[in-house]
Chains A and B, each alone.
Chain A
Amino acid sequence: MSENVNETNTANSILDVESLNVTFSTDGGDVHAVKDVSLSVTPGEVLAIVGESGSGKTVTARSILGLLPETAQRSGAVIVSGKDVLSVSGEQLRKMRGTDVSMVFQEPSTALNPVYTVGWQIAEGLRAHHRRASKAELKAKVITAMEQVGIPDAQNRFDYYPHQFSGGQKQRIVIAMALALGAELIVADEPTTALDVTVQAEILDLLRDLRDDTGTAIVLITHNMGVVADLADRVAVMYRGDLIEVSSVKQLFSDPKEQYTRDLLGAVPRLGSTVVGSRKAAAASVKQDRAGESTGESAGADADPGKPRDERDSIVVARNLDIVYPGGFGRSDFQAVSSVSFDIKAGEVYGLVGESGSGKTTIGRAIAGLTRASGGSLQVLGHEMVGFKERAFSPIRRRIGFVFQDPAASFNPHLTIGECVAEPFAIHQRDMSPRDREKRVLELLDSVQLPKAYGARYPHELSGGQRQRASLARGLALDPELLVADEPTSALDVSVQAKVLELFVELQNRFDFAALFISHDLAVVDMLSDRIGVLFHGELLEEGTGEQVLGSPSSDYTKRLIASLPVPDPDEQATRRGLARTLRTTAG
């Protein structure tokens, strides 16, 4: 289905993928990871390949450099600068890599060798292709490459080791490596996924500038529609190994051809949007009207139905909360959270947003008693958490649920899903009969929309989204008053994320628990939170409803955070980009 959209003239294209097929052998049988995919890229063009996990986008990208493991069976042709990667000899392929085509990797901290200086590492690529280059020549070239990607003081930093750079700078160096040999085609595999939003915006700017300055074509692999809207010229959508559609970026966002693309775009969280059925949505549509009506009569479990939400009691009260990780053996302590104050009222969803190192997870863990709070005061359900004793806190634990980020790791691999969900009963209601317990488990599975049969399955037999549903079921088993959800959807694909968020909202309506919803994604937090707190380097910069925080942010950081978030709309993104740039330059 892809041939007809391949309108580019193959004669002047820099990359031609012709009916590429890739098959892997796995323990579960052969997997046809890429099915008859044809694509082409012209010089200076940015082609984005988007898709969710398992779509085959990364395999396609790695095929372009011939970087697939030996167990992969490949057919078709991948023609880069006139040579077919799949059929050239090993030595020819080596010569092509770096000079004709190069790659930028997802995780900059693992893409750099920790025991060599960055200068040496960039020079290695040059050395591999210019055997006779002198040391001084190499160094000059490396420094130019480092300056090109915006590493200040490159002369001195030539001799720095990777761990001496920040994440964003490491990614710049990875890009410098890819560019150093003047490759006209760069394959960027999720180049910003491991980075914070504000850093992501900088790296996207850098990639765009490089394309504009050097005319390098970029094959951009990503799952993030905002990134696509920001950088791509054309977009190829993949789904389970098939190429679904190829369109210009404008057309894709304004008028997608395929239903799958439409669904995918619909699932992307946007700033200011809301989850269908959430109280926020209801509140927005029917002002003054109480939320309960629109979602039906499910408010039966409502703890305190008489009062509007803002008049209810606070169940979490933090006042000047400090959390310090003690450093061992002469290393200094690390202050993860400093002097943070906030309240979570009963039945309220409090969204906590921040980038890595902001302390958001630490606060969630402290509320659940996993990390010790060290100063100030933190009252959870009336219990003081600073200096708490496990024995005294233990009875309160049943009133708190927790949902972890990684759905794969949060279940004991040796227990069935049913046993995992029954754990809360086994611990807190030991007199419950096995039959009652099973009944409750099935009810819970049903309420998170998992088929009953899944109770007998093992965690590894479920998909990520299904595991996260089961995780919600376990967190809600004892009807908690408070649910701490630590990045519950960030390991999931967008379409799965949308469904889990919907489920979360539905459950919250039904059981009326309060929730601390932690995420790095402002759009996700905004979709379902009654109030939002923005954390930066352990401090709570601002707090308010979604409208307040997004509409009129008071701190510069929040402004920058909002502006850096790429939106899935190329035109809007272009204007936001300009805004983000000005904010950055004024702040920096």
Chain B
Amino acid sequence: MTAAISEPGAEAAETSVAVKKPSGGGLGRYVLIRFLLIIPTIFILTTLVFFLMRITGDPISASMGGRLTTDQLAERIHAAGYDRPILVQYFEYMGNLLKGDFGTAISDGQPVSSILLNYGTATVELVFYALIVAFIIGIPLGMLAAYHRDKAPDAALRILAILGYATPVFFAGMILKLVFGVFLPILPVAGRGTTETEYIMSGVVGPTRFYIIDAIRIGNVEVLGDVLAHAVLPAIALGVLTAGVFLRLVRTNLIGTLGQQYIDSGRSRGISEFRLVTKHAYRPALIPIITVMGMQIALMLAGAVLTETTFEWKGLGFKLAEYLTARDFVAVQGIVVFLAIIVALTNFLVDVIAAFIDPRVRY
């Protein structure tokens, strides 16, 4: 037979107005290019945040404005170098960032990098719990909705999903606190653990600062239970919001994929509807789903700021709100820039995973 494996590009050529997705280039090149693209993203965000934060003036006047005399203020501004030209400060700031120096908080004099280190783990832990909740609820329910598309269960699930999305995470948190803390007091509503737990945690040698890991390491079942109990409500508040988004995402993409001809082709060979949804449509739908999920993880960080404030969960978001109230813009800037870097890295990782799943990129 003469038909040979097609040369790449031969088919695309006739209609090559539309650029094809990365094909044939190999996964390695794709990862490298995608990684290089993070650099401008981080650079732009850092620059943007730096200049926006400076539009209204220097951080010292913002923080100490009313409390110091003009002379004292000028002296402190000079000492901190905020009276130099803005571009000089900008380059210095960027240089320091490269060295991992995020500046020093004005209100409590702590280096921002150590704040990030001490509180970042709590945020990661919260996001992790919430992601589990979101996955467990969102993905199966999304599949269920797609399977029953346009029938009653689908409508009910969609309304639920929209409700999940429409409820601000702090309001959901407050309702949970009311129900499980006041009316039905069975779960702790504030902090990452009881005072006792916090005390034990502070004594752990070489802490990872992930309470769940540390609790397992010291082998204290009671502490572990306490840590998990404290995580339930915040994880649900943040997770349900994301679950709603995941549900919609999975449903829409699955339904889109179910309209493809290869589904009909499967159907024509007697493959069951259930398997068509969960296997044949799911995997192709997964690629866009994963990409959008990456974005969602970024949004969860913002949600975490609000959740942490609601549940006094001492993470970066909680600290951010504290520094905002104290008008400590050096710390605020540091935390925001750090979160921006995390977001860019997460999106990179997610894109790589999506590419890995897609055989058209892999081969």
A interface residues (Cβ-Cβ under 8 A, vs B): 65, 67, 94-99, 102-103, 105, 107, 110-117, 121, 124-125, 128-129, 150, 152, 161, 163-169, 172, 174, 177-178, 180-181, 199, 202, 325, 328-331, 334, 336, 356-362, 537, 584, 587-588
Does B270 lie within 8 Å of A105, measured CB to CB? no
Chain B binding site: helix, strand, loop or mixed by DSSP? Answer: loop
Residues of B within 8 Å of A, CB-based: how many? 43
Rounded to whole angstroms, the CA-CA distance of A301 and B262 in the bound complex is 53
The reply to whether the CB of B184 lies closer than 8 angstroms to some CB of chain A is no
Residues in B with CB closer than 8 Å to A67 are 264, 267-268
The 4 closest A-B pairs by CB, nearest first: A588-B2, A125-B269, A98-B270, A166-B6
A166-B11, A334-B9 are known contacts; what are 17 more A-B pairs with Cβ within 8 Å?
A67-B264, A67-B268, A94-B270, A98-B268, A103-B265, A105-B264, A110-B260, A113-B260, A115-B359, A161-B359, A163-B363, A169-B5, A174-B265, A199-B3, A331-B25, A356-B14, A357-B14
Of chain B, the residue at the smallest CB distance from A358 is B14
The reply to whether the CB of B156 lies closer than 8 angstroms to some CB of chain A is no
Residues in A with CB closer than 8 Å to B270 are 94-99, 125, 128-129, 181
Does B16 lie within 8 Å of A336, measured CB to CB? yes
1/0 per residue, CB under 8 A from A, across B341-363: the answer is: 00000000000000001111001
Knowing A114-B284, A330-B29 touch, does A165 contact B13 (C-beta < 8 A)?
no
A202 is contacted by which of B1, B14, B260, B268 (Cβ under 8 Å)? B1
In whole Å, how far is A194's beta carbon from the nearest beta carbon of chain B? Answer: 11
Chosen A-B contacts, 28 in total, with CB atoms closer than 8 Å, are A96-B270, A103-B264, A107-B261, A111-B262, A112-B262, A113-B283, A114-B359, A115-B357, A124-B279, A128-B272, A152-B1, A161-B360, A163-B363, A166-B5, A166-B6, A167-B11, A168-B3, A169-B3, A169-B5, A177-B265, A202-B2, A325-B13, A325-B16, A330-B25, A334-B16, A357-B13, A361-B14, A588-B2
Rounded to whole angstroms, the CA-CA distance of A564 and B120 in the bound complex is 68
| Best-buried of B1, B2, B272, B284 by chain A (most CB within 10 Å) | B1
In whole Å, how far is A367's beta carbon from the nearest beta carbon of chain B? Answer: 16
Rounded to whole angstroms, the CA-CA distance of A178 and B265 in the bound complex is 9
Does B271 lie within 8 Å of A125, measured CB to CB? yes
The reply to whether the CB of B280 lies closer than 8 angstroms to some CB of chain A is yes
Does A114 lie within 8 Å of B5, measured CB to CB? no
Rounded to whole angstroms, the CA-CA distance of A97 and B5 in the bound complex is 31
Rounded to whole angstroms, the CA-CA distance of A114 and B357 in the bound complex is 11
Of chain A, the residue at the smallest CB distance from B11 is A357
Does A166 lie within 8 Å of B4, measured CB to CB? yes
In whole Å, how far is A320's beta carbon from the nearest beta carbon of chain B? Answer: 19
Residues in A with CB closer than 8 Å to B269 are 97-98, 102, 124-125, 128, 177-178, 180-181
Does B11 lie within 8 Å of A356, measured CB to CB? yes
Does B283 lie within 8 Å of A115, measured CB to CB? yes
Rounded to whole angstroms, the CA-CA distance of A545 and B287 in the bound complex is 52
B268 is contacted by which of A102, A328, A356, A361 (Cβ under 8 Å)? A102
Residues in B with CB closer than 8 Å to A329 are 25, 33
A161 is contacted by which of B16, B261, B363 (Cβ under 8 Å)? B363
In whole Å, how far is A172's beta carbon from the nearest beta carbon of chain B? Answer: 8
Knowing A94-B270, A98-B270 touch, does A112 contact B265 (C-beta < 8 A)?
yes
1/0 per residue, CB under 8 A from A, across B24-54: the answer is: 1100010001000000000000000000000
Rounded to whole angstroms, the CA-CA distance of A105 and B275 in the bound complex is 21
Rounded to whole angstroms, the CA-CA distance of A190 and B249 in the bound complex is 34
Of chain B, the residue at the smallest CB distance from A356 is B14
The reply to whether the CB of B266 lies closer than 8 angstroms to some CB of chain A is yes
In whole Å, how far is B40's beta carbon from the nearest beta carbon of chain A? Answer: 15
Rounded to whole angstroms, the CA-CA distance of A190 and B11 in the bound complex is 20
**B residues 317-359 touching A (CB-CB < 8 Å):** 357-359
Knowing A94-B272, A334-B16, A357-B10 touch, does A111 contact B265 (C-beta < 8 A)?
yes
B2 is contacted by which of A105, A128, A356, A587 (Cβ under 8 Å)? A587
B262 is contacted by which of A95, A97, A102, A113 (Cβ under 8 Å)? A113
Rounded to whole angstroms, the CA-CA distance of A432 and B206 in the bound complex is 85
B interface residues (Cβ-Cβ under 8 A, vs A): 1-6, 9-16, 19, 23-25, 29, 33, 260-262, 264-272, 275, 279-280, 283-284, 287, 357-360, 363
B13 is contacted by which of A202, A331, A336 (Cβ under 8 Å)? A336
Of chain A, the residue at the smallest CB distance from B16 is A325
Residues in B with CB closer than 8 Å to A121 are 262
Of chain A, the residue at the smallest CB distance from B287 is A115
Of chain A, the residue at the smallest CB distance from B10 is A357
Does A165 lie within 8 Å of B16, measured CB to CB? no
In whole Å, how far is A518's beta carbon from the nearest beta carbon of chain B? Answer: 11
Residues in B with CB closer than 8 Å to A178 are 268-269
Does B284 lie within 8 Å of A588, measured CB to CB? no
In whole Å, how far is B69's beta carbon from the nearest beta carbon of chain A? Answer: 58
Rounded to whole angstroms, the CA-CA distance of A330 and B275 in the bound complex is 40
Rounded to whole angstroms, the CA-CA distance of A117 and B264 in the bound complex is 17
Rounded to whole angstroms, the CA-CA distance of A330 and B359 in the bound complex is 20
Of chain B, the residue at the smallest CB distance from A171 is B3
Does A103 lie within 8 Å of B268, measured CB to CB? yes
In whole Å, how far is B155's beta carbon from the nearest beta carbon of chain A? Answer: 16
Residues in B with CB closer than 8 Å to A357 are 10-11, 13-14
Residues in A with CB closer than 8 Å to B357 are 115
Rounded to whole angstroms, the CA-CA distance of A167 and B6 in the bound complex is 8
Residues in B with CB closer than 8 Å to A98 are 268-271
| Best-buried of A113, A178, A329, A359 by chain B (most CB within 10 Å) | A113
Residues in A with CB closer than 8 Å to B287 are 115
Of chain B, the residue at the smallest CB distance from A90 is B273
Residues in A with CB closer than 8 Å to B3 are 166, 168-169, 172, 199, 202
Residues in B with CB closer than 8 Å to A360 are 14
Of chain B, the residue at the smallest CB distance from A150 is B1
Residues in A with CB closer than 8 Å to B260 are 110, 113
Does A115 lie within 8 Å of B261, measured CB to CB? no
B267 is contacted by which of A97, A129, A163, A167 (Cβ under 8 Å)? A97
Rounded to whole angstroms, the CA-CA distance of A359 and B14 in the bound complex is 6
Rounded to whole angstroms, the CA-CA distance of A202 and B262 in the bound complex is 23
Of chain B, the residue at the smallest CB distance from A337 is B13
In whole Å, how far is A55's beta carbon from the nearest beta carbon of chain B? Answer: 20
Does B265 lie within 8 Å of A105, measured CB to CB? yes
Does B19 lie within 8 Å of A328, measured CB to CB? yes
Rounded to whole angstroms, the CA-CA distance of A65 and B264 in the bound complex is 10
Does A115 lie within 8 Å of B275, measured CB to CB? no
In whole Å, how far is B188's beta carbon from the nearest beta carbon of chain A? Answer: 44
Rounded to whole angstroms, the CA-CA distance of A94 and B357 in the bound complex is 30
B14 is contacted by which of A95, A124, A152, A362 (Cβ under 8 Å)? A362
Rounded to whole angstroms, the CA-CA distance of A125 and B271 in the bound complex is 6
Of chain A, the residue at the smallest CB distance from B272 is A94
Of chain B, the residue at the smallest CB distance from A328 is B19
Residues in A with CB closer than 8 Å to B15 are 361
Rounded to whole angstroms, the CA-CA distance of A67 and B279 in the bound complex is 20
Does A331 lie within 8 Å of B24, measured CB to CB? yes
Rounded to whole angstroms, the CA-CA distance of A164 and B269 in the bound complex is 23
Rounded to whole angstroms, the CA-CA distance of A329 and B24 in the bound complex is 12
B261 is contacted by which of A111, A163, A584 (Cβ under 8 Å)? A111
Rounded to whole angstroms, the CA-CA distance of A177 and B280 in the bound complex is 15
Knowing A111-B261, A115-B358, A357-B10 touch, does A65 contact B5 (C-beta < 8 A)?
no
Residues in B with CB closer than 8 Å to A172 are 3
Does A359 lie within 8 Å of B13, measured CB to CB? yes
